[in-house]
Structures are given as C-alpha cells and as structure tokens.
C-alpha cells in the first residue's frame, strides 16, 4: 500500500482442551514496508513431541479476522551430549528406512492414500524414523510424520553423484555453485521448519566434499540451532554434527563404538534390501546396542521403484532396465531395493525388520518366568497385553491370553506365568512363545495386533517319528539295466550303472521317475550377482548340472532293509559326493550324504544338499520349522518355529528378478501331500528345505542372457518375477544348509564368514517316509 495501515493480528496456540497462548496486537505498518513481530512466552507443563508420543498443538494466526492460517506444531528438544543424539533428553535409537516417493502407476507423483499406507506399514513394523531420500518429500508426508510419530531426516535436493566420484570434478570447492546449493537448501528449510517430526537436516546426498558444504552448514546454523545437521561425505569433519556412514562393515561400527570421537554414529544407509536380502540385520543391532555412541540407521530402502507395465497379452508386470529404453544403458533392477514392492505388498524380509526393531525384549528366566524390558524411551506398555503359549512338537498344549502389563520406559519387570506346565513328555520338543499385542486400537494399530514376540526352547525333542508299519521283506530283481527293490507296498528301481533312481512307487502311487540328486548351487540372489558369485562359484553351478554318478555298491539285502551306494564326481574331479541309500521294509528311504573336496583352494559352496523331483499332484506342503515366510541362515530371527501349511505354488516369492526363494530354515520335518499319499522328510538334525513348483533352471541366472550394467555394479538381465512359469513337476530341496543372504551391499560385499559353507567335508542324513493320506 502507498499509505500506512493498521492491522489487527491474533496469534494463539491451542491444545485438545485449552488455549495455551493468546496474543492480540494492533500493528502500524509503514507504507510499502513489511513488519516482523516476535512473541515469546514460557508455557508450563507442555507435552513434548516424540515418535512414541506425537503430541501436537495448533498454532493459529489471523489478520483483521479475514485472513487465517493454522499449522500443527510440536515441542521437542534435540541436542548432542556425550557423543549421543538426545531427543527430549533421551539417547534414543533410530530404527529407520530411506524412502523415495514412488508409485507403480504415477511414478514420482504419490497420492495421499499411498502416503497413508506407507506410514501405517512403517508404524506396524516398528519403524520409528525415515529419511526423505534424496529430496524434501511432499508436505503431506511430513504432516503424517508429525501426527503419527516418525523421526525425520529432511534432505535437501542436492546430488551430483557422477561428478562427486572424482575429487577433480566435485562441485564442493567450486564456490560459483554456492547460490544454486543455497537456493535448494533454503527452500527446504523455510518450507519445512515448523514440522515437529524433523530432527535433522541433511545437506544432500553423494554430492562430494569441500568448502561449499561448509558454507551450507554455516548458513543453516545461522538460521536455527535446535536441530542437528548432517552430511555423509563430510565423514567426521566439523560440518556434520553426526557421523552418518553408508553401508559400514560391522567391524567399522565396532571401531567407532570403541573410539573417542565426539560424534554419534547413525548409518544414513545400511542393509541394502535388493531382492532376497536383509541378512545379518540382527548382527548389526547386536553391535549397535552394545556401544552408546551407535544409535541405529536407515535401511536402504523402503519401496521398490518399478512401474507397472503390461506384456503383449495384457498381463501386468513390474518393469525395470531395458523395459523402459531397450537400446540405452541401464542398471537393470537396481531400482528395486525395497522392503515392500511398488504396490506396498511386504517382501519377506520386512518381517525380519519388524522383529529386530521391536520395542520390547523378552528373556526367559526358567520355571515359567519371563523378564520383559520396555525398550521405549517415552511410553509405557499400558496399551499392550501379553499372550503366552507352550508348543509341544509344534502344537499348542497350554496357553493364557490377554494378561495386563505396564512396564515403564527403559525398565524391566518379571512375570511368572500361572499354570505353567512342569511335567513334560520325555521325547517331545517344548517351546514357550510370548507375544505382546495391542490392547486398544489406535488409528494405525488394530486391537490384538502383534507388536513383538519371542520363543524359547524349553526342551529339545526327537525329530524323526518312526512308523509302526514294519512292512514285508524286500526282494531284489536285477536285469542288465535295472535293479528293482520291492515288496507288496513299495517299489524302487535304480540304474545298474549310475545307481540313480529311475522310478519309485508306494501303494501303487508314483513318487518320482527321476533321481534324487545332489545340489551345490542356488539361483543367485541380487547380492550374489553383486559379489560375482556367478563367476567365483561357477564350478558349483557346473557341478550341479553336470556331475556324473556310478553305482559303487549294488543293492544288498540286510535285516529289514536293502542298501546301495552311489558316488557322484564333479566334471573336473573337484569333489566327490557319496550317497548311501537304505530302503526299509516299511517303505522309508534313509539317505546318508557325504561331500568331500578333492582339490585345495575351492570356493565357498552356495548350497550343500539334495533335491527330489515329484509330480505336481503333490500340491500341498506342511512343515515344522521356521515360518510362515521364507527364512535363511542369516535371516530367520523374524520367523517363528511352528507347524505351517499351504499350497506349494504359494511357497516362493516373485522378486523383480527371479532368484533363490522359498527356503525354510530349522526344519524338523516337512511333508508334501497328494490326493492319496504324502511324503515326510525328517532328520536327527535341523534341515533347510523348500518346495518349488518349477525346476531350479526356471529361476537360475544364465550369463548368456545377461549384459553389463551402466554402472558396472551388477549384471543386467531381462527376466521378471512375473515370467516364472509354474511347471508340471515339483523340485523339493532337502538341504544340509545354504549360505546366508548377506545384505551389507548388493555390489561386492560377501556374505559374512560365519554364514558361509567353505569347501570341506560335510555329512548329513535324512529319512523320506511315504505314508497313506
């Protein structure tokens, strides 16, 4: 205006039940000028904001009662003391994920409904923090984080990754670029500064080092000093408040934990969740919780970024790589690193994250007594209940539900379960299972929802259940090509030269017409391809498909069974596998497996096991082991031991690129079922087992069909999870073990040593029991 004006300004802060602050002022504003006002008041008994207790207030402002604005605000204190980030005085843990804005239909345009689904899934899976990678997210997302409680790293839209790789091309010391960087940083800051959920500003992602970023840090500190500032490329320099490394090895975390650095460490990216991944997450958190200056990290990342395409028949699939640009360089499926798929369906490894990120810890003290530790920092357990049950050989025999609990933050409490069984059957396995469930529903957590759980083996049992059926005596009938072993219920034929099974029937029903063969290979996961397993372990892939066998001990009748022995030799005599079969009168087939390397310096073995091929009339599976989802040596914390069942065609996961899938760890027994009979596998030791409704070749990696990626990080393939065809046969993998999945990175890092299978002698045995249904 060309004249001075008077304006009435009203500012007030209100809570649910009262007004905490009210101010009314009449301002005289000189012509063509602006005027700033500052209001200050101490408000007693404020309810602070945290991700556990997201208390919000409404700030409202009006101008002459005809212009209004309101905003949800919260009160929290963020500081660094004693090498720890403190929220409201507490050194919390950041159990986080990195989140891109992506939708399978609209790309980077994300609906409110999609954002609401994201925050619901995060809260239900014990995630308490999120990083806006690599740009400020939609303000509605920040509103949700304010409302429901997530700690947010707000990251500036600054990245110059290709230039940042080489110090000579980094922009960090090109001060002519400072205005462009300040512009992006300031836009983020001024837009988002009133969001309670933001505890840290990030100066950008993978944009190099240098004085330019020191200037950004200084500019932001001048604006405010009540949040921390971080920047990963700065390392431990003075223009980042925290040390926020990407993908550190566990030993690097330990080194920082034992150092005298004044900087807390919060991993900005870790546990690369590409494909079948997220191995050894529990190991990372065992280290984090050991050292006070380690405070968690952000898993890369939340959601796969494929778009939905349709094939020539109109069938949907999740596109990647050359699907978008057939003739341009690509990094293939490297855009799919999520804990959920683009439709927000959880991948199996999200269960592992939920378990490791749990807000409570259970310890069994014996005699039916549990110690519960509330790992939260601001909220008690008054809105949770405890359920407990005892499983005998996987079946519930005792239970007690809906026990009230109220453990205060960071405190422990012992609970003695009433009517706890003290008389146990001698040969049975007993497991105590404890659950923490939601008492009353909230907007995001339904009543009865399982928040945390644990299991404790009270007594180990015998896993092999012997059949009471003795069966009639077996006879051996030999010809020039076949040895046949049979009685009135079972018939098994083997090749005279190779010793391999050519047919096997029980009660007139076909079990298989194919050999039970050794398996030293697994279809490479994305992590496997990233570390070159398709090259360094090629010998075991070739061996699995090309090994030859010979019958070295023909069938011999002994008391109650017939035995024969086969020797497998790999193509270049790298190793020998000896299999001794014992066919019992009752139809049981006992298998003794022995692996022996014949050369020094052989690589680690992806899998040590065998597989049986059966008709797809065996269409159901049940097992007593880890479940209900897939589990692996280094990723089984999030799966419970119990009895599970389902269709075989549902026992694998369609990752965006076909790869190893469907394993069940710690298997006591597994059964597959047809209309008339079932087959049970059991062992004196815990097995790994999976049932695929296709052969291994269907999901295996073929280097002839792959090309180099634009970055050189991983090979590029063209096959999609949607391309996996259900076959007419079932491949049943019965394994001693397979190596872990890894997950430190997907571009070179090997599986941790403790989860590998070195080339050495291995022995195991199992029993296949045909049974009438």
Residues with active-site annotation:
206, 269
Report DSSP state, residue 88.
T
Chain mean position to CA 222: 40
Q: Cα-flanking dihedrals φ and ψ of residue 321, to 5°?
A: 55, -125
Q: Tell me how far apart the alpha carbons of residues 254 and 602 are, in angstroms, rounded to a whole number.
A: 31
Nearest-angstrom CA–CA distance, 742 and 278: 7
Closest CA to 196 of 93, 48, 15, 61: 48
Q: How far is Cα 575 from Cα 344, in angstroms, rounded to an integer? A: 45
Judge contact between 373 and 363, C-beta under 8 A.
yes
Using a 10 angstrom Cβ sphere, with 0-12 exposed, 13-18 middle and 19 or more buried, the burial of residue 409 is middle
Q: Which helix (H) or strand (E) holds 360?
A: strand 360-366
β-strand 84-87 against 78-81: which pairing, if any? antiparallel
Using alpha carbons only, how large is the chain's radius of gyration in Å?
31
Alpha-carbon gap, residue 284 to 254, rounded angstroms = 10
> In 10 A of CB 402, how many CB atoms?
10
Strand residue runs (E) in 572-663: 575-584, 589-597, 607-615, 620-627, 640-647
Tokens representing 622? 């049940």
Q: Say if residues 428 and 461 touch (Cβ distance below 8 Å).
A: yes
Residues 6+ apart with CB under 8 A from 168: none
Four-CA torsion 506, 511, 516, 521, nearest 10 degrees? -150
The C-alpha atoms of residue 534 and residue 540 are separated, in whole angstroms, by: 10
Kindly report the three-state secondary structure assignment for every residue of 321-350: HHHCCCCCCCCCCCCCCCCECCCCCECCCH
Beta bridge partners of 25: 9
**What DSSP element (H or E) covers 561?**
strand 561-569
Sign of CA dihedral 656, 661, 665, 669: positive
- Count of alpha carbons within 13 Å of 618, Cβ hemisphere only? 28
Packed helices 281-288 and 250-257: angle between N→C axes, nearest 10 degrees: 10
**What burial class does residue 389 get, using C-beta atoms within 10 Å of its C-beta: 0-12 exposed, 13-18 middle, 19+ buried?**
middle
């Amino acid at each position: 205006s060309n004249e001075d004006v008077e304006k009435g300004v009203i500012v007030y802060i209100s809570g649910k039940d009262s007004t905490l602050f009210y101010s009314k002022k009449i301002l005289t504003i000189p012509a063509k000028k602006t005027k700033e006002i500052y209001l200050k008041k101490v408000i007693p008994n404020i309810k602070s904001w945290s991700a556990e207790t997201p208390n919000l207030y409404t700030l409202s402002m009006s101008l002459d009662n005809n212009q209004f604005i309101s905003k949800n605000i919260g009160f929290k204190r963020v500081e660094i003391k004693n090498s720890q980030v403190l929220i409201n005085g507490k050194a919390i843990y950041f159990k986080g994920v990195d989140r891109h804005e992506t939708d399978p239909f609209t790309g980077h345009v994300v609906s409110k409904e999609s954002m609401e689904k994201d925050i619901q899934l995060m809260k239900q899976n014990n995630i308490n923090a999120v990083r806006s990678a690599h740009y400020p997210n939609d303000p509605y997302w920040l509103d949700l984080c304010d409302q429901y409680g997530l700690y947010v790293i707000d990251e500036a839209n600054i990245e110059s990754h290709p230039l940042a790789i080489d110090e000579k091309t980094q922009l960090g010391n090109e001060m002519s670029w400072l205005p462009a960087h300040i512009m992006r940083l300031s836009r983020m800051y001024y837009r988002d500064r009133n969001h309670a959920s933001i505890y840290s500003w990030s100066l950008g992602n993978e944009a190099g080092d240098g004085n330019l970023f020191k200037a950004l840090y200084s500019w932001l500190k001048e604006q405010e000093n009540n949040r921390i500032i971080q920047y990963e490329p700065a390392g431990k320099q003075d223009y980042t408040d925290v040390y926020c490394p990407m993908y550190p090895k566990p030993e690097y975390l330990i080194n920082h934990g034992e150092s005298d650095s004044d900087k807390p460490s919060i991993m900005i990216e870790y546990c690369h969740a590409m494909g079948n991944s997220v191995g050894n997450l529990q190991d990372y958190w065992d280290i984090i919780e050991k050292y006070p200056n380690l405070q968690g990290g952000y898993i890369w990342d939340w959601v796969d970024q494929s778009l939905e395409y349709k094939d020539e028949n109109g069938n949907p699939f999740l596109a990647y790589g050359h699907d978008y640009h057939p003739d341009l360089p690509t990094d293939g499926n490297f855009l799919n690193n999520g804990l959920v798929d683009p439709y927000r369906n959880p991948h199996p490894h999200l269960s592992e994250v939920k378990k490791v990120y749990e807000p409570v810890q259970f310890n069994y003290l014996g005699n039916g007594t549990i110690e519960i530790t509330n790992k939260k920092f601001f909220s008690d357990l008054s809105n949770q209940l405890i359920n407990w049950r005892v499983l005998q050989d996987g079946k519930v025999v005792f239970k007690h539900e809906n026990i009230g609990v109220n453990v205060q933050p960071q405190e422990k409490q012992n609970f003695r379960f009433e009517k706890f069984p003290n008389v146990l059957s001698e040969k049975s396995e007993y497991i105590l299972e404890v659950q923490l469930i939601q008492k009353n529903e909230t907007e995001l957590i339904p009543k009865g929802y399982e928040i945390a759980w644990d299991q404790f083996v009270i007594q180990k049992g015998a896993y092999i259940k012997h059949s009471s059926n003795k069966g009639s005596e077996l006879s051996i009938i030999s010809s020039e090509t076949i040895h046949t072993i049979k009685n009135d219920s079972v018939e098994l034929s083997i090749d005279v030269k190779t010793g391999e099974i050519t047919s096997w029937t029980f009660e007139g029903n076909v079990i298989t017409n194919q050999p039970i063969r050794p398996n030293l290979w697994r279809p490479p996961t994305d992590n496997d391809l990233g570390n070159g397993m398709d090259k360094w372990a090629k010998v075991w892939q070739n061996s699995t498909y090309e090994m030859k066998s010979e019958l070295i001990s023909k069938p011999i009748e002994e008391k109650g069974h017939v035995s024969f022995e086969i020797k497998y030799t790999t193509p270049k005599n790298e190793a020998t596998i000896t299999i001794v079969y014992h066919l019992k009168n009752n139809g049981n087939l006992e298998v003794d497996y022995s692996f022996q390397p014949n050369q020094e310096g052989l690589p680690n073995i992806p899998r040590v096991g065998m597989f049986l091929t059966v008709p797809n009339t065996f269409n159901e599976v049940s097992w007593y082991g880890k479940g209900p989802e897939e589990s692996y040596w280094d990723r089984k914390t999030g799966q419970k031991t119990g009895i599970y069942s389902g269709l075989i065609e549902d026992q694998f996961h369609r990752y965006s690129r076909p790869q190893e899938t469907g394993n069940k760890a710690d298997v006591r027994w597994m059964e597959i079922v047809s209309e008339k009979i079932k087959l049970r596998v059991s062992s004196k030791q815990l097995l790994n087992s999976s049932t695929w409704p296709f052969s291994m070749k269907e999901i295996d990696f073929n280097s002839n069909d792959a090309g180099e990626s634009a970055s050189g990080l991983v090979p590029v393939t063209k096959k999609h999870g949607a391309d996996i065809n259900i076959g007419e046969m079932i491949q049943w993998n019965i394994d001693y073990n397979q190596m872990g999945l890894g997950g430190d990175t997907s571009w070179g890092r090997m599986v941790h040593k403790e989860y590998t299978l070195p080339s050495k002698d291995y022995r195991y045995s199992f029993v296949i029991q045909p049974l009438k249904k």
